[in-house]
Amino acid sequence: MADQRLNYVNGEWTESRTGETFETTDPASPEEVIATYPQSDAEDAEQAIEAARDASDDWGSTPGPERGRILAKTGSILDERKDELTELLVREEGKTRSEAGGEVQRAIDIFHYYGSKASDIGGTVKSSSARDTNLYTKTEPLGVAGLITPWNYPIAIPAWKIAPALAAGNAVVIKPASLAPGVVHEMADALEEAGLPAGVLNVVTGPGSEVGGTIASHEAVDAISFTGSTAVGNTVYDAATEDGKRVQLEMGGKNPTVVSDSANVEEAADIVANGAFGVTGQACTAASRAIVHEDVYDEFVDAVVDRADAIDHGHGLDDPGMGPHVSESELESTLEYVDIAQEEGATLECGGSALDREGYFVEPAVFSDVDSEMRIAQEEVFGPVLAIIPVSSYDEAIHVANDVDYGLSASVVTDDHTEANRFVEEVDAGVVKINEKTTGLELHVPFGGMKASSSETYREQGDAGLDFYSITKTVYDNY
């Protein structure tokens, strides 16, 4: 029997005002219903915001070390439940067991990290130019943080928004993505068990137009952090900034890996294949373009095709090489881009077809003979589709890498130190990697994009995550 889940508002698990629900299903077995959730509306979101507003002052005045102990304990509780969280993530989102387990571990690590960082929040002391004067800064929470999170990393992304927001002393309202909200509910349960006061965290499920729109525009919300598509993100930005909210957006990507003629081709193929096909290509940092020097182009294409052909598919709980797309619509979008690429003249080297089996499975697709002006090279696909673009020089590779609207993650595979340093300086991306795949992030350093990939306001994770959820007062104390 499917789980019956509720909203979490003011420390209580409650039904929505509408009484309506929606279901999540297993993308590897779509007939299997995993859970039902409240189909909430604007009034439900308003109740959650009011609860957060009422709880924000007490939580903001709670000493940082005490807040940190609750976060650290939450990390320990999540660790104890890692196996069940991993299974739930697999069954709702479709990742393989290894991928889901890695994501759950990341959430655990994030709570422990910000649990320790909470003790350091306070301010700095400076030497005044005047006598008999203390000069210092005081860091304070913003108040209420509204969070809108995606389905593709359904526990890691909520964790790296919730944990710093709470560490900094803010109350939170979060709308998780409707395709895979279960692990956020489990996170709320762990925080409650760890001692988080009622109202400090509130979880409301439902449509973005109703719940997300209310969170973004409500006058009692002081900050909005959004991760999702660029189109939706821009709508959220307009709604949030109308009354001066602090806003942080992380959105789409069209991430390149440049393969130099000095690169080891087999190593480069491993790096690109892992970045392109991991998590079924459903990552904003996935490598969707390989920009390859013509001297190693043919060899590279053959090597990547070998790796794509070797990937096995199956239910994520069996830990295959690739799980399904999260939904039928995501699968159809990927298949549509495969058709578009062929219509525009790209050569389909392998894959690109839906598998003849239950679930939303697709063969990873590799395209050669791609021109940078093709849609397959310009638009985010969000599936296991790799466009390989030939170039004749390193200068041309940089030009092609930057010739898109996005600027999230980028990598280069090279044995030339000058090329590596030039890439860091010249590529338009917020995350730059040398001889590594475009995916994968460290939690204690800033994360964010450029151009249409980001609002370019505040970064996430590390100390930057705390900066977004905090405001600083400068105090002049003439004694």
Catalytic residue among 50, 92, 192, 250: 250
Q: Which residues share a beta bridge with 329?
A: none
Parallel/antiparallel/unpaired status of strands 246-250 and 223-227: parallel
CA dist 175 and 358 (Å) reads: 30
Instruction: Decide: 29 and 79 in contact? Cβ < 8 Å.
Output: no
Contacts (Cβ under 8 Å, ≥6 apart) of 36 = 2, 3, 4, 5, 21, 22, 23, 24
- Answer yes or no: 250 catalytic: yes
Instruction: Decide: 249 and 455 in contact? Cβ < 8 Å.
Output: yes
Amino acid at position 108, single letter: I
Question: Which residue, 61, 171, 68, is CA-closest to 117?
Answer: 68
Instruction: Decide: 174 and 45 in contact? Cβ < 8 Å.
Output: no
Which position has the token pair 């104390």? 477
The Cα-based distances of 465 to 157, 369, 393, 413, 470 in angstroms read: 12, 41, 38, 30, 9
Tokens of 121: 């929040």
Tokens of 321: 């090489």
Amino acid at position 204, single letter: V
What is the Cβ-side half-sphere exposure of residue 195, based on CA atoms within 13 angstroms? 12
Residues assigned a catalytic role: 250
